[in-house]
Amino acid sequence: MKNVLCYGDSNTWGYMPVDATRYGIDVRWPGVLRQQLGGGYWVIEEGLSGRTTVWEDPYEPYRNGKAHLMPCLLTHKPVDLVVLMLGTNDLKRRFSLPAYDIAKGAGVLAEVILRSECGPDDGAPQVLMLCPPPVGKLTELADMFADSETTSRQLASYYQQQAEEFGCAFLDVGQVVVSSDKDGIHFDPEEHHKLGVSVAEKVKSLLG
């Protein structure tokens, strides 16, 4: 059995942009991934709304992705592959971060995973780094994510650089899905499906 850990934020959790509730298990992309992979794989969902890469949120505690990463890896050890998609919340105006720093935060997490000894036989899990898609049309989240559109479009090249530096697989999610026009940040059901299918293809190529 291959263990695949999906470590992310509200889009991994399954946040519905219409009413802020949660999509069903078969709708959110890790659930689609589970369906696409079939037998021989165990998909672990570790999504938390508001989670950042490495930053402490002054208004929402327990959202630092680095702080929870090692306990999470140790909990689910052995982990064959970590699918890492964080960075959207780093775009919030309160952090005022450039694209380079957001990507570096994702790189820090990749390095933690690779040094964790939480893979099979105490080795390193593989890492599939996903760059979040660009911000769409902002509505009720416009103040929180003010001025984030341009930065979000700059992320992919920096994420790819981080993936190459640490020897991680890479997927630019912006080439697969678009953020919902309902809030500009989260995914509609059809986008969850497309992402789950695309990630499944990458997982199969990495784990066979």
Q: Which CATH architecture has domain 2-207?
A: 3-Layer(aba) Sandwich (3.40)
Place of tokens 């919902």: 180
Please, what is the average pLDDT of the chain?
97
Which pair of structure tokens corresponds to residue 135?
């911000």
Place of tokens 């934020």: 9
Answer whether 207's CB lies under 8 Å from 2's CB: yes
- Picking from 17, 14, 10, the residue whose alpha carbon sits closest to that of residue 182 is 17
Q: Would the pTM count as exceeding 0.95?
A: yes
Which pair of structure tokens corresponds to residue 12?
């991994």
pLDDT digits (tens, 9 = 90+) for 148-166: 999 999 999 999 999 999 9
Please report, for the chain, the start and end positions of each structural domain, with discontinuous segments joined by +: 2-207
- Rounded-to-integer distance, Cα 195 and Cα 179, Å: 12
Between strands 126-131 and 2-8, the pairing is unpaired
Backbone angles phi, psi at 126, to 5 degrees: -75, 160
Answer whether 113's CB lies under 8 Å from 163's CB: no
Q: What does the pLDDT profile of the chain (208 residues) look like in tens digits?
A: 999 999 999 999 999 999 999 999 999 999 999 999 999 999 999 999 999 999 999 999 999 999 999 999 999 999 999 999 999 999 999 999 999 999 999 999 999 999 999 999 999 999 999 999 999 999 889 999 999 999 999 999 999 999 999 999 999 999 999 999 999 999 999 999 999 999 999 999 999 8
